[in-house]
Homo-oligomer: A and B are copies of this chain.
Amino acid sequence: MVMKNKSKVKVIPLGGLGEIGKNMTAIEYDNEIIVIDCGLGFPDMEMYGVDLVIPDITYLLNNRDKVKGVMLTHGHEDHIGALPYVLKQLNVPVYGTRLTLGLVESKLEEHEMLSNCTLLEVKTGEEVKTENFRIEFIRSCHSIADACALAIHTPEGVIVHTGDFKVDYMPIDGDVIDLHQFAKLGSRGVLLLMADSTNVERPGYTVSERIIGDNLTGIFSKAKGRVIVATFASNTNRIQQIINSSLFYGRKVAFSGRSMEKISSMAMELGYMKLSEDQLISVDDINKYPSDKITIITTGSQGEPMAALSRIAYSNHRKITIEKGDVVIISASPIPGNEKLISKLIDELFRKGAEVIYNALEEVHVSGHACQEELKLMHTLIKPKFFMPVHGEYRHLKQHELLAENLGMDSKNIFVLENGQVLELNRNSAARSAKVTCGTVMIDGLGIGDVGNIVLRDRKHLSQDGVVTIVVTIDKASFSILSGPDIITRGFVYMKESGDLINEARGVVKAELDKCMESKIKDWFTIKSNIKYSLGGFLYNKTRRRPIILPIIMET
């Protein structure tokens, strides 16, 4: 029986299933664990005030001696963003390609922990070896350069993890996704495929990045004023195409927004982006050139209120103001939840006189994820024995299951799992086994995990109806009111205009206190409960609102 246990490979999803974000999977065999990706997620609507979320890594901490390293598929936040928090607790080597590590480096530098971390560069085609695993980095294609798929050779068979991918036969940065290697692995036999499910709902093929470049050039050819393009700072291929269009029409290029400036300068340094020195200008100098000789590449494509494009639109940018004739291109699509912010941003840009071009009008953005036909290609090349859809909301995983079934796969060989659910495999079989601890750790300011459900429930409650504080000072000896009750509210009603309501409320509290005193109730807890109850009822009747009520009794 010990032998049997030893001979199983465990696939342990710690994040990324049933959600878009915080991707992280552990692969365990015997005394070793390797981790694939270490991403952050964005807070739900209900996570008031939370900045970001990361996976709960209790399982890894409980097995800390086993963990041999983190293998990164690419440099997007949902794959690398949790590293600063995770490495603080579990300092293991991090493996990835050049650009990916470049992005990790700048992140660790910000957290002042770079010098304590071990980053090990891997080239595509190379392998990382541990006692039990051989991890092959395979050239892939995504909306960021240097993206990889992984083939994890285990004693029980090969696991292929696609990472985030699409198939672009005409990539901007030269080499095509390594289909030959996938074919080779497939013909030799793959035990398990874990594949990107993001776009499984979309039929057909993802458009080539190159088409977007052609469309952008078309827009540049007609632009009579400045061209301002907002896109993801990490999409170096897109930015290269914007640079190329600018060059063609003799436009200088300025970068705006902290992450855009930072990542583009790093990408140029590492050779992932080419821009001659005389074409690059600072935003300080944009007014030295005619409008039709200027391109500004900026952050803020998601309508983020503090990002450069929003500041430009709402006239809060110190150096850039919208001028009539400006053409603004939103070269991105909304991350779910950001639709309204982006919509307001576009409206504001129109109001300021810009011409705004976005995906609903022209094809100026393309997804980085495989559509149905590309997924079918991957499944067909890999021919896995078992399949586990990853990287998607639950419905995406279910649709991906259906796609695999339609390709002839037996449904009992497909595993739609949730985070924490372990899949155990050996060369002949696969089965769900016990769950491990997993979950969402919320980060709010400097606090990691100190905001829990009670705090969130209160914040939600406060956001709906505000807070009403009642203070009264009582003389302990005589059990009589010395001062108060005073009422202070925030987020409930506008106090200056609601004087009557507040006065009446004070009366309600006073009456309740008198009643308690008459009945000789001297237990603060009961008195506070009674005040909450009567005042809550009174306020609800008057306003149909239920603010948080905080009765405070001071004894002297």
Q: In the complex, are the beta carbons of A18 and B347 less than 8 A apart? A: yes
- Is the Cβ of B459 less than 8 Å from the Cβ of A49? no
Q: What separation, in Å, do the CA atoms of A456 and B444 have in the docked complex?
A: 22
Quick check: B491 and A455 within 8 Å, CB to CB? yes
Cβ-neighbour of A488 out of B466, B543, B550 (below 8 A): B550
User: Are A347 and B459 in contact, with the CB atoms below 8 A?
Assistant: no
Question: Is the beta-carbon distance between A552 and B488 smaller than 8 angstroms?
Answer: yes
Candidate in A483, A497, A542 with the most chain B CB atoms within 10 angstroms: A483
Asked if A469 lies at the interface with its beta carbon under 8 angstroms from chain B, I say: yes
Known: A445-B545, A463-B459, A463-B463. A484 touches B360 (CB 8 A): no
In the assembled complex, the Cα of A393 lies from the Cα of B497 at a distance in Å of 33
A405 contacts across to B, CB distance below 8 A: none
State whether the Cβ of A395 lies closer than 8 Å to any Cβ in chain B: yes
Contact call B464/A49, Cβ cutoff below 8 A: yes
Instruction: Judge if A222 is at the interface, Cβ distance under 8 Å.
Output: no
A516: chain B residues at CB < 8 Å are: none
Copies in the complex: 2
Decide if A361 is an interface residue (CB 8 Å cutoff).
Answer: yes
Question: Cβ of A350: which chain B residues have Cβ within 8 Å of it?
Answer: 394-395, 398
Known: A346-B395, A350-B395, A490-B550. A459 touches B464 (CB 8 A): yes
- Cβ-defined partner of A491 (8 Å) among B462, B486, B545: B462
**Interface residues in A345-392 (C-beta closer than 8 Å to B):** 346-348, 350-351, 356, 360-361
| Cβ-based interface call for A399 (8 A) | yes
Q: Is the CB of A483 within 8 A of B201?
A: no
Chain A positions 431 through 451: 1 when the CB is less than 8 Å from some CB of chain B, otherwise 0? 000000000000011110011
CB-defined contacts of A458 to chain B, threshold 8 Å? 466, 490-491
- A181 at the A/B interface (Cβ < 8 Å)? no
Does A494 have its Cβ within 8 Å of any Cβ on chain B? yes
Q: Which of B395, B464, B543 contacts A48 (CB 8 A)?
A: B464
A408 within 8 A of B: no
Whether A361 touches B462, Cβ cut-off 8 Å, given contacts A455-B491, A483-B554, A490-B467, is: no
* A337 partner, pick from B339, B394, B447, B469, beta carbons under 8 A: B339
Given contacts A445-B545, A473-B556, A486-B554, contact A462 B466 (CB under 8 A): yes
Tell me the bound Cα distance from A445 to B541 in angstroms.
10
Q: Is the CB of B490 within 8 A of A446?
A: no
CB distance from A516 to the nearest CB of B (A): 19
A170 contacts chain B at the CB level, 8 A cutoff: no
A330 CB to closest chain B CB, in angstroms? 11
**With A45-B340, A446-B542, A497-B450 in contact, is A462–B473 under 8 Å at CB?**
no
Q: Is A498 interfacial (CB 8 A cutoff)?
A: yes
- Which B-chain residue is minimally distant from A398 (CB atoms)? B350
A482 at the interface (CB under 8 A from B): yes
* Least CB distance, A190 to chain B, in whole angstroms: 27
Residue of B nearest to A361 (CB): B201
A164→B475 CA distance, assembly (Å):
67
A174 surroundings in chain B (CB, below 8 A): none
Q: Quick one: closest B residue to A543, CB to CB?
A: B445
A466 touches B455 (CB 8 A): yes
Hey, which chain B residues are within 8 Å of A486, CB to CB? 552, 554
Interface flag for A492 (CB, 8 Å) = yes
A540-556 interface bits toward B, Cβ cutoff 8 Å, 1 = contact, 0 = none: 00111100101010111
Q: Which residue of B lies closest to A339 (CB)?
A: B336
Closest Cβ of chain B to A483, distance in Å, is 5
Q: Is the CB of A467 within 8 A of B467?
A: yes
**Which B residues lie within 8 Å of A201 (CB)?**
360-361
> Which of B202, B542, B548, B554 interacts with A554 by CB under 8 Å?
B554
- C-alpha gap A418/B445 in the complex (Å): 39
A454 at the interface (CB under 8 A from B): yes
- Pick the residue among B395, B465, B492, B556 that contacts A482 (CB under 8 A): B556
Between A48, A341, A472, the greatest number of chain B beta carbons within 10 A of the residue's beta carbon is seen for: A48
A471 within 8 Å of B by Cβ? yes
Taking the complex as formed, is A343 at the interface, i.e. its CB lies under 8 A from any CB of chain B?
A: yes
Given contacts A49-B464, A544-B446, A494 and B452 within 8 Å (CB-CB): yes
Per-position 1/0 for A513-548, Cβ under 8 A of B = 000000000000000000000000000001111001
Given A393-B347, A459-B463, A554-B473, A399-B361 contact (CB < 8 Å): yes
> Chain B residues near A471 (CB, 8 Å)?
471, 552, 554
| 6 pairs, A vs B, C-beta closer than 8 Å | A201-B360, A337-B340, A447-B493, A447-B544, A462-B463, A469-B469
| Sample of 17 more A-B contacts, CB < 8 Å, known A48-B491, A49-B491, A347-B394 | A18-B347, A45-B340, A49-B463, A49-B545, A336-B340, A350-B394, A361-B399, A447-B493, A458-B466, A459-B464, A461-B491, A462-B463, A467-B490, A469-B550, A471-B471, A482-B556, A484-B554
A-B pairs with lowest CB-CB distance, top 3: A445-B544, A463-B463, A462-B462
